[in-house]
Amino acid sequence: MFVKYNRYKTEVIDQAFVRTDGSTLAKTIRVHFYSDKESEVLSKDYGLLDSLEIYRAIKNNEALNLSQAYIKELNIKDLKEKNFIPAEQMIEIQSIDAQNSFFDAAAGIDLSFVSFGKGNINFSHSVFARSTVNFHSSHFENGNVMFDHTIFNCDVVDFSNTTFGEGEINFKSAYFHKGFKNFQYANFGKGSIIFINTQFNDGDVSFINSVIHEGDALFKMAHFGKGRKDFHYAKFGIGTVSFEKAYFHSGEVNFRNAEFDKGKVNFNRSQFGDCEILFDGCDLHAGGKFSFRKVKIHSGEFAFSLVNFKDNEVYFDETDFGNTKVTFYNSCFKKLSLKSCHLNNYVDLRVSSCNHLDLSDTIVRDIIDLKPFNSPVNINIMDITGIRLIGRIYIDWKLNNVKELIQRQEYNSFQHKAEQYRALKQNFNVTGLYYDEDKAYLEFKRMEAKAVLVINKQEGFLGKIWGYLKYVAKKLILDNMGLYATSPERVLISVVIAWFGFGILFFLTEMAHLGNTVSAVNNPDHLSILFQSFYHSAITFFTIGYGDVFPVGLSRLVSALEGFTGVFMMSYFTVAFVRKILR
């Protein structure tokens, strides 16, 4: 039974009520449930069970059979007061079966400071009609505790400081009314806790300092309404922690300083409204895995700073962060994956350490901040393959060691690396970091040349030879000579080296009697062969052409080659120089 009701009305029927186990209760209570529109949605019969009979059974240390019963004003505190028992002294109840029961109390249902014996404690499919439900500081021995499909139509549900033994704690498909759901300092022992498809509705939900020793914590498809969802300082055991497909309405979602063991933490396909989502200072033990895939966040803030996941992989793949500010400041990860995410607002990725940062196929509409400020940003590999960079990346070529971030991608091809350098080159241009732009452009052209060579190697023997020739030519002329026109100083040095080299070549040609340089004016300065060779090399290289010295023999061919080289290299220098100063 799962009933959402606005109010209810009870009707006494003077006939015995027969339970499904064959036992009978003297009278029947018919409860009519009404919706918000005052129409009746359900009526259900229960057997009337006087709370005095329950107190007598407790005093006699008898098992409690409350199933299918209507119980009014069940309050252990009153029992203690009447028997002069201190309020915080534990009362023992050997076992309790309260399936399909109806608890009605204007002052609230109080089962606080109760020690439940071994065996299953069953409240499944029951209704707590109004006011409060209090299990504060109660103790459950080993056995399953079942509140599945239970309706808590109460302003306060208090399981704070409650201790559970070994066994399953089951709140599957339970329904909580608007109000405070309190599990602070609850100790869930060894066993899974199940809140699958639970409706928490509006109001604060608190698991502050709660502990799950072993077993799974399953909140799959749970629905949280408006208000704080507080799990900070909670400790989760070695099992799975799953909030898969959970829905979080507006309000703070707080997992600060929560400690996760080596199990899997799963928020896949969950949805958040206008939320402040806090995971600051969380710790995940070695061997654990954190998955936040395909999540949708409407707006607010997502804080994942000072997190210690240094031995763990964290996945946010295909998450839509909406209009949310995101920070991973000073956190540690083995791998942080934001693959195919939608980043529409500022993202602080100034992590303390991360072996592998994956931003491939991500859409960036605002700013990604990777530039160190007060502390170093230690990233070993960064993948931005296929990134849609509508916004900006704040990153420093030297401080972030950008070249190695991409070069270390052993799994990516030269073409993919070239694409990443090109994206960074354009990013540096827009942000005005022209020195970094040149560095990125140089690596882009180098990776592009290697990518073309890989393609040529697949085109047969001739294609391979031609590919190697083109690659060597690019390497020598465009790269080594001027770093792809990014360094006019390098081009100028290359000019001097070329002039000097051709001068030596003219000298050696004349020494080998294969050609020589002749003075048309009888060498009035009495230059030696070596100096005349350098002089001829200069006027040829720089296309001055005085005509006072001319080549003969093989020197003519060398002069023609040098003339072409000079025109090319001076043009190359002009392009590199103008490119520098015009920015």
**Euclidean distance between CA atoms 575 and 43, whole angstroms:** 88
For residue 560, pLDDT over 90 is answered with: yes
For 317, the token pair is 């793949």
Decide: 342 and 294 in contact? Cβ < 8 Å: no
Decide: 280 and 303 in contact? Cβ < 8 Å: yes
Half-sphere exposure of 235 (CA within 13 A, CB side): 11
Instruction: Return the closest-CA partner of residue 447 out of 473, 491, 479, 469.
Output: 479
pLDDT at residue 4, rounded to an integer: 72
| DSSP states of 194-258 | E-TT-EEESS-EE-TT-B--BS-EE-TT-EE-SS-EE-TT-EE-SS-EE-TT-EE-SEEEE-TT-
Q: In sequence order, what are the residues at sequence separation of 6 or more whose Cβ sits closer than 8 angstroms to the Cβ of residue 414? A: 447, 448, 450, 451, 454
Helix (H, G, I), strand (E, B) or coil at 17: strand
Q: Where is average pLDDT lowest: 40-54, 226-240, 561-575?
A: 40-54
For residue 84, pLDDT over 80 is answered with: no
With 0-12 / 13-18 / 19 or more C-beta atoms within 10 angstroms meaning exposed / middle / buried, residue 427 is buried
pLDDT in tens, 250-266: 999 999 999 998 889 99
Look at the block and give the residue holding tokens 């997190």: 307
Mean pLDDT score across all residues of the chain? 91
pLDDT band (50, 70, 90) for residue 62: confident
CA 245 vs CA 196, 224, 296, 300, 417: distances in Å: 10, 11, 10, 19, 36
pLDDT at residue 448, rounded to an integer: 94
Helix (H, G, I), strand (E, B) or coil at 456: helix
Q: Both ends of the chain: CA-CA distance in Å? A: 73
Q: Tell me, rounded to whole angstroms, the distance of Cα 148 from its chain centroid.
A: 32
For residue 500, pLDDT over 90 is answered with: yes
* Torsion-angle region of 562 (φ positive above 0: left; ψ -120 to 50: alpha; else: beta): alpha
For 393, the token pair is 């990346």
Instruction: Return the closest-CA partner of residue 492 out of 574, 579, 580, 578.
Output: 574
Look at the block and give the residue holding tokens 């306060």: 156
pLDDT at residue 3, rounded to an integer: 62
β pairing state of 241-242 and 347-348: unpaired
For residue 2, pLDDT over 60 is answered with: no
**Euclidean distance between CA atoms 61 and 161, whole angstroms:** 24
Averaged pLDDT for residues 210-234 = 94
pLDDT in tens, 40-52: 888 899 999 888 8
| DSSP states of 300-342 | EEEE-TT-EEEEEEEE-TT-B--EEEEE-TT-EEEEEE-TT-E
pLDDT in tens, 167-203: 999 999 999 988 999 999 999 988 899 999 999 999 9
Instruction: Return the closest-CA partner of residue 453 out of 432, 431, 470.
Output: 470
Q: In sequence order, what are the residues at sequence separation of 6 or more whose Cβ sits closer than 8 angstroms to the Cβ of residue 195? A: 171, 172, 174, 218, 219, 222
Helix (H, G, I), strand (E, B) or coil at 560: helix
3-state secondary structure 481-536: CCCCCCCHHHHHHHHHHHHHHHHHHHHHHHHCCCEEEEECCCCCCCCCHHHHHHHH
Sign of the dihedral through C-alpha 520, 525, 530, 532? negative
pLDDT at residue 149, rounded to an integer: 94
Residues making up the chain, counted from first to last: 583
For 251, the token pair is 């309000």
**Euclidean distance between CA atoms 465 and 467, whole angstroms:** 5
Half-sphere exposure of 500 (CA within 13 A, CB side): 6
Averaged pLDDT for residues 35-60 = 86
For residue 419, pLDDT over 60 is answered with: yes
- Out of 1.10.10.10, 3.40.640.10, 1.10.3720.10, 1.10.287.70, the CATH code matching 488-581 is 1.10.287.70
Instruction: Return the closest-CA partner of residue 372 out of 314, 416, 423, 330.
Output: 330
Q: In sequence order, what are the residues at sequence separation of 6 or more whose Cβ sits closer than 8 angstroms to the Cβ of residue 526? A: none
Domains in the chain: boundaries: 488-581
pLDDT at residue 285, rounded to an integer: 87
pLDDT at residue 583, rounded to an integer: 67
Q: Where is average pLDDT lowest: 3-12, 119-128, 210-219, 435-444?
A: 3-12
For residue 554, pLDDT over 70 is answered with: yes
